[in-house]
């Protein structure tokens, strides 16, 4: 499973590298550096690439948790406002 992620990441880097090289020499140099980093990570057993996937997953989970908290806070405030209105008070 981990090896297929690594291969997919390397393939994505190669595809993006090819697309960016069409943009000019500067982009080609950047892509070359990126490919070297990905290649080094692949030789290191995928630790860097795996950490990247973990970071993205963590970020997604944190974003989802924050949105859920905000939604709960909003709903709680709406209930409080409705209760105040039933008592004849403003929100």
Q: What average pLDDT values come out for the chain (91 residues) when binned by 10 residues? A: 65 65 55 61 55 68 96 98 94 80
Report the distance separating Cα 42 and Cα 29, nearest Å.
Answer: 20
Exposed, middle or buried: residue 91 (CB in 10 Å: 0-12, 13-18, 19+)?
Answer: exposed
Instruction: Give the global pTM.
Output: 0.37
Q: Which two tokens stand for residue 76?
A: 């709680």
Q: Would you state the pLDDT for residue 26?
A: 47
Let me know the angle formed at the C-alpha of 20 by 17 and 45, rounded to the nearest 5 degrees. Answer: 20
């Amino acid at each position: 499973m981990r090896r297929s992620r690594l291969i997919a990441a390397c393939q994505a880097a190669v595809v993006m590298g090819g697309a960016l090289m069409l943009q000019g020499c500067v982009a080609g140099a950047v892509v070359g550096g990126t490919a070297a980093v990905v290649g080094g990570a692949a030789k290191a057993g995928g630790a860097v690439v795996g950490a990247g996937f973990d970071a993205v997953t963590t970020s997604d989970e944190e974003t989802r948790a924050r949105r859920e908290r905000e939604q709960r806070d909003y709903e709680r405030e709406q209930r409080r406002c409705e209760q105040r209105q039933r008592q004849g008070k403003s929100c």
